[in-house]
Chain A
C-alpha cells in the first residue's frame, strides 16, 4: 500500500474542505435550521406526535440523513470531477498508486467531511429539540455506512459526469426527491397502503428508518433489513467503482 499517497490525497481534499469552510459547513447548518423553523414550528404545531415522539424530535434523524446523503454525493463527486475538469487528474493517473488507494483517499475525505457535518447538524438540532439517542453505536454505524456509501456513489457520478450539469443532475433529480419521499419528514406508516408499498422501493427509506431506530427505537422497516439494504448498496457501488477502474471508463482513453 502506498500510504503516503492515500494520506496526500486525503489531506489535500480535507484542505479543500477547510478552505471552503463557509459553503461546506455553514450553509447546510443554516438550511437545517430553516427546516426546523418551517417543519418543526409550522407543521409540528399540527402534527404533535409521531409514534410517541414529538414531531420536531421525530424529523431530526431524517434531517441529518438528508444532509449526509446530499453532502456525501456532492463532496465526492466534486472531489474527483474537478481534477478531471482542470486536467490535474494526469498526476493521479501517473502516480504509483492503485485504484483502491485513490478511492480510499477521495471517498475517505468526502465521507469524513459529511460525518463531521452530520454531527454538527445533530448538535444544531439539539438546540431546537431535546435529543436522546438510544443506540449511539448503531447511530454512528449507520452514519458512517451511509456517508461512505453515498460518497462512493458520488465518486461514481463525478467520474461519469462530463459537464457541470450532469454533476448536478443526479443529486437534484434523483437523490433529493428520494430523500424527501423517503420518510425524512414523516413516517412511512402514515401513508395510504398503495403509496406505502411504492415507498418501499425507495432505498433511502431503509437508511432513514434504520438511522431513526438508533435514536428512538421506532422504525418503518426492520433494522436488519435497513442494515442489509445499506450494505447491499455499498457493495453495488464498490462493484461499479472496481469496474470503472478496471476499464478506465471516462478516466483513460
Chain B
C-alpha cells in the first residue's frame, strides 16, 4: 500500500548553521497511529511544521496522499489537520466562531451539524458560546483539536497533545483519537509521555538530533528490545555480591536487601535457574522475587543515550 505521507531526504538548516533535520525519510501508512518520540529539540516540531507548510524545507521532498506539499499545496494541505504544541487561540472569539472559522479557512462549506458533533465529542458543547479566554488550559487544548477536526481531515497531527493535561482528560483524548482512527483518520502524534505512545501507537519512530534513529512496529520494538528484570528480596543484608556470583552482573540495592538481574526472554537460556542455584550455594536466602518487563521508556532512554 502506498504511504499517505511520504517524506524523503528532508533536511532543514537555519541561517545560524544549526541543522534541525538531517536527511529524514519517513513513510506513514494510511489509518495508523504513528508516535514520534524524541527528547526536547530533537526536531519533532520542525518536522511537523514543514509537513504542514508552516516552515520551509531546505532540502528534500514531501508528498501527502500523492500531492507534493509545495507544488500541489492546496490538495496536500486540505487533507491535514494540525494541533500545534503551544496553545495558540483567539482569546476573544467564541468557541463556535473559532471552530467554524477553521472550517471556512480550509475551504469547506458550512456544516453546523459536523461542528456540533466535534464539539460534543470533545465535551465542549456547553462551552460553545464561551470566549476562549475564559476556558481552562485543558479546554483550550480541546478547542485546538476541534479546530483541526472542523474540516474533516484525513490526517491529524497532534504535537504533544496531552502536555499539561490531567490524567482523566488525557484518557478522554486517547478515546477521541481511537475513535478517529476507527473512522479512518491517520494520526501522527509526538509526545513526551512514553506511556502515551505505548498505549496508543501502532508504530513508533524515534528522532534524535534531527535524525530518525528508529522506526518500528510497537509490538516488535517492545519484543526486540524488551528486556526483563528479576528482583530478588534477600532475607539477610548483603554487603557485597559474593565473588562466586560475579558472572551474573547482579546489582545490589543500596540497603543491601535486594539484588536485580537483567535477562533476555529471547535468549536460549535466561540463566535464572543457575542463578538461583548459585545463590543457594553461596548461602544467600531469598524472601521474595519479582520480574518486570522493561517499558518503552527504558528502550527510549537507552536509544537516545547510546553514542
Known: A4-B109, A5-B107, A8-B105. A90 touches B88 (CB 8 A): yes
Judge whether B82 and A94 touch: CB under 8 Å. yes
Taking CB atoms, residues of chain B closer than 8 Å to A252 are 54-56
The residue on A at minimum CB distance from B91 is A86
Contacts between the two chains (Cβ within 8 Å), count: 77
Q: Within the assembled complex, what's the spacing in Å between the Cα atoms of A12 and B96?
A: 12
Does B73 interact with chain A (Cβ within 8 Å)?
A: yes
What distance in Å separates the Cβ of B101 from its nearest Cβ neighbour in chain A? 5
Among candidates B75, B84, B91, residue contacting A96 with C-beta atoms closer than 8 Å: B75
Judge whether A253 and B55 touch: CB under 8 Å. yes
Among candidates A2, A87, A91, A93, residue contacting B74 with C-beta atoms closer than 8 Å: A2
What distance in Å separates the Cβ of A69 from its nearest Cβ neighbour in chain B? 27
Taking CB atoms, residues of chain A closer than 8 Å to B90 are 86, 88
Taking CB atoms, residues of chain B closer than 8 Å to A240 are none
For the complex, count residues of A whose C-beta is within 8 A of B.
Answer: 26
Judge whether B97 and A15 touch: CB under 8 Å. yes
Judge whether B88 and A86 touch: CB under 8 Å. yes
The residue on A at minimum CB distance from B80 is A94
Does B102 interact with chain A (Cβ within 8 Å)?
A: yes
Known: A5-B107, A96-B77. A91 touches B102 (CB 8 A): yes
- Counting chain A CB atoms within 10 Å of each CB, the highest count among B74, B75, B105 belongs to B105
The residue on A at minimum CB distance from B84 is A90
List CB contacts (< 8 Å) of B71-103 with chain A.
73-78, 80, 82, 84, 86, 88-93, 97, 101-103
Does A145 interact with chain B (Cβ within 8 Å)?
A: no
The 0/1 profile, CB within 8 Å of B marked 1, for residues 1-23 of chain A is 01011011101100110010000
Judge whether A12 and B101 touch: CB under 8 Å. yes
Interface size, B (range)? 20 to 34
Does A95 interact with chain B (Cβ within 8 Å)?
A: yes
List CB contacts (< 8 Å) of B28-77 with chain A.
52-56, 73-77
The residue on B at minimum CB distance from A253 is B55
Judge whether B82 and A2 touch: CB under 8 Å. no
Does A97 interact with chain B (Cβ within 8 Å)?
A: yes
Judge whether A19 and B92 touch: CB under 8 Å. yes
Does B218 interact with chain A (Cβ within 8 Å)?
A: no
Judge whether B14 and A9 touch: CB under 8 Å. no
Q: Within the assembled complex, what's the spacing in Å between the Cα atoms of A15 and B147?
A: 18
Taking CB atoms, residues of chain B closer than 8 Å to A16 are 92
Judge whether B89 and A92 touch: CB under 8 Å. no
What distance in Å separates the Cβ of A198 from its nearest Cβ neighbour in chain B? 40
Q: Within the assembled complex, what's the spacing in Å between the Cα atoms of A248 and B49?
A: 14
Q: Within the assembled complex, what's the spacing in Å between the Cα atoms of A156 and B92?
A: 24
What distance in Å separates the Cβ of B28 from its nearest Cβ neighbour in chain A? 17
What distance in Å separates the Cβ of A85 from its nearest Cβ neighbour in chain B? 10
Q: Within the assembled complex, what's the spacing in Å between the Cα atoms of A95 and B107?
A: 9
Taking CB atoms, residues of chain A closer than 8 Å to B74 are 2, 96-98
The 0/1 profile, CB within 8 Å of A marked 1, for residues 143-162 of chain B is 00001000000000000000
Taking CB atoms, residues of chain B closer than 8 Å to A9 are 105
Q: Within the assembled complex, what's the spacing in Å between the Cα atoms of A97 and B89?
A: 20
Taking CB atoms, residues of chain B closer than 8 Å to A92 are 105
Does B108 interact with chain A (Cβ within 8 Å)?
A: yes
Q: Within the assembled complex, what's the spacing in Å between the Cα atoms of A15 and B96?
A: 13
Q: Within the assembled complex, what's the spacing in Å between the Cα atoms of A2 and B53?
A: 17
Among candidates A8, A19, A94, residue contacting B77 with C-beta atoms closer than 8 Å: A94
Does B242 interact with chain A (Cβ within 8 Å)?
A: no
Q: Within the assembled complex, what's the spacing in Å between the Cα atoms of A4 and B106?
A: 8
Give 24 A-B contacts (CB < 8 Å), ordered by A residue: A2-B107, A4-B107, A5-B107, A8-B101, A8-B105, A11-B104, A15-B93, A16-B92, A19-B92, A86-B88, A86-B90, A87-B88, A88-B90, A90-B84, A91-B102, A93-B52, A94-B82, A95-B106, A95-B107, A96-B74, A96-B77, A96-B78, A98-B74, A252-B56
The 10 closest A-B pairs by CB, nearest first: A8-B104, A87-B88, A96-B77, A96-B78, A96-B74, A94-B52, A2-B107, A95-B105, A93-B54, A88-B88
